[in-house]
Amino acid sequence: MQVDPIHQFQIKDLMPMVSMNGHHIDFTNSALFMFIIVGAVSTLLIGSTSRRAVVPGRLQSIAEISYEFVADTVQSSAGKEGMRFFPFVFTLFMFVLFANLIGLIPYSFTVTSQLIVTASLALLVFAIVVGYGFWRNGLHFLNLFVPKGVPKLILPAIVVIEILSFLSRPVSHSVRLFANMLAGHITLQVFAGFVIMLAGAGILGIFGAALPFIMVVLLTALELLVAFLQAYVFAILTCIYLNDAIHPGH
């Protein structure tokens, strides 16, 4: 029995919506899971804060902890002024976190394992950093690319390198999340495939299948950690980039 580890990332059209000039805009499984994620986050946060108890219950604790966690992250890496971006960062964090966590449920679809999704999020952050940076600092924003204390002779090369480094941010920002989720899910699927293949090979195979099965259990725990860690990394990088937009001077 063969298991295709890539199959889980396939985009399926669930129902056709609009068709214009030969381009189809379909409601896919990816879109469905994005709706599920948004629904789950909204239900959790709205539901848990509807009864605002002084002594928080379980759900309210989750909401409060996630608020405080993200607020701390924003304040420590983007300063007090960064708090005006708190709703944005919080939305990003919750979306990515829930996308990663829901993706771990068997038979579900991992939205963040699609490069286009993470790239859109990273480009959104990039556009906000550039737009807000110029709006707030004017041309002083360009000071970001001119490090202090560099000899005049090599300054042009340094500026070009700094600009390239700045432009590479959305690439690494999006690829990091995407590649982590993709690699993790493929690994899980491959080991789960070993279990099925070995178990189909007779009595001895069933005992042999125990090894990759243990591996799958351990990997699931690891993936749970990675799911959280990558959402956190995505959020903190967003904060660091926003900090550059707020304080571009070196």
Task: Retrieve residue 214's tokens.
Answer: 């243990």
Identify the residue among 6, 167, 196, 217 touching another protein (CB under 8 A).
167
Task: Retrieve residue 15's tokens.
Answer: 């129902």
> What distance in Å separates the CA atoms of residue 46 and residue 59, rounded to the nearest whole number?
10
Q: Smaller CB distance to another protein: residue 122 or 198?
A: 122
> What distance in Å separates the CA atoms of residue 144 and residue 105, rounded to the nearest whole number?
43
Positive or negative: CA dihedral 170, 176, 179, 180: negative
Tell me the one-letter amino acid at 164: L
Q: Smaller CB distance to another protein: residue 22 or 151?
A: 151
Q: Smaller CB distance to another protein: residue 44 or 115?
A: 115
Asked whether 178 and 115 are in contact (CB, 8 A), the reply is yes
Task: Retrieve residue 168's tokens.
Answer: 């590479």
Q: Least Å distance between CB 206 and another protein?
A: 24
Q: Smaller CB distance to another protein: residue 9 or 228?
A: 228
Asked whether 181 and 113 are in contact (CB, 8 A), the reply is yes
153 binds another protein (CB under 8 A): no
46 binds another protein (CB under 8 A): no
Interface positions, 63-82, toward another protein (CB under 8 A):
76-82
Eight-class DSSP state of 141: G
Identify the residue among 32, 124, 175, 197 touching another protein (CB under 8 A).
175
Q: Least Å distance between CB 79 and another protein?
A: 3
Q: How many residues does the chain have?
A: 250
Interface ranges with another protein (CB under 8 A):
76-82, 147, 157, 160-162, 164-165, 167-169, 171-172, 175-176, 179-180, 218, 221-222, 225-226, 229-230, 233, 236, 240, 243-244, 246-247, 249-250
